Amino acid sequence: MTLNRRSALTLGMGAAALTASETPALAHAAAGTAAPPPDSATAATPTPTSGVSDSQLARSLPGSFTSDYATVNGLRLHYVAGGQGAPLILLPGWPETWWEYRKVMPALAATHRVIAVDLRGMGGSDKPATGYDKKTLADDIYGLIRALGYDKADVAGHDIGSMVAFSLAANHPQAVRRIAMLDVLHPDPGYYQIPILPAPGAPFYPWWFAFNQVQGLPEQLVVGRARFIVDWMFDHLLVNQNAVTPFDRAVYANAYNTADGIRGGNGWYQTFGQDIADLAAYGKLTVPVLGLVNSLFAPQMQATLPTQADDVRVVEVPDTGHYFVEEQPQAVIDQFRQFFV
């Protein structure tokens, strides 16, 4: 799907949180612009292509955000947290990391303890051989809620993270107050009907669903070349190309440039069959659910989500593609402030 390009102002994050010790690359990240290539005087400074640490990225956000880890279910999960108040856990999608939420975290941290998590297999989190079904991923987040000392948390997820949020509410409702599902529903039997070839004129063709099912080959093809996939996804699933800068794309590409990073991301897709079987055993969700969705996917979410949960509100986000946390951050902030109260 190629979305129509529309001009829009880039929403920068501001550089107020940066100190003189932060790198030039991070200053550009905070401003929402691409970093220039290093010269001889700064060649040792991390750049988007050599990798910027999660700690540096966390410090680049306005406010006081820190990068940390928790050990749950026998693996180490990475998260970035900041703010005070009731916990709000943010779960990213593919091919992204916790950095997906960089534009909304500072505003949400005014009223919540915001915790953006790298899922099992993602970014700074461990990448074990198994456990990529959404029920196990939900168990990881349940363990994180408990490890951080909370009884309940609000949870929002985009893409793969949305599937995990749904599974968390289905399997651990006692630990979830409300969930927001962004643009993607939990896998269901309809996934088996996705065609291998797009019909002429089809507006949407998720070829990566099939590509990520293949065992072993993606690692061979994509190691060191993840930027090509990252760029394709954003080039075709954004309306405003400036919403995800070259720096941001490099951050994501670095997370998926290794064999383990590719295998971890593919694992979320290779377990769809198990996810579909698990869905059949779930009843309707009892926790309140907010569905945020772009115009293309809105009819599906509006028709399906009310059959899966008792208390549902679906809101269409206009003038955006799939990655609307980055394209329309203010809309996400406004909806979260109304819902997570």
Q: Give the pair of three-digit tokens for residue 84.
A: 């005070």
- Can you give the pLDDT at residue 202? 84
Q: Give the pair of three-digit tokens for residue 109.
A: 């941290």
Active site residue 334: no
- Can you give the pLDDT at residue 1? 38
Domain segments of the chain: what residues? 55-339
- Please give the torsion angle defined by the CA atoms of residues 83, 252, 91 and 130, in that order, rounded to the nearest 10 degrees: -130
Q: Which of 101, 132, 256, 269 is catalytic?
A: 269
**Long-range CB pairs of 192-198, under 8 A, 24+ apart, other chains included:** 192/276
Active site residue 269: yes
Active site residue 150: no
Q: Which of 154, 159, 183, 248 is catalytic?
A: 159
- Can you give the pLDDT at residue 19? 30
- Can you give the pLDDT at residue 15? 26
Q: Which of 78, 158, 172, 322 is catalytic?
A: 322
Distances (CA, A) of 244 to 63, 65, 211, 327: 21, 21, 24, 8
Q: Please check whether residue 40 is in contact with residue 259, taking contact to mean a CB–CB distance below 8 angstroms.
A: no
- Can you give the pLDDT at residue 203? 76
pTM: 0.87
- Can you give the pLDDT at residue 13? 27
CATH assignment of 55-339? 3.40.50.1820
- Can you give the pLDDT at residue 196? 86
- Can you give the pLDDT at residue 54? 98
- Can you give the pLDDT at residue 8? 28
- Regions in the chain scoring below 50 on pLDDT: 1-49
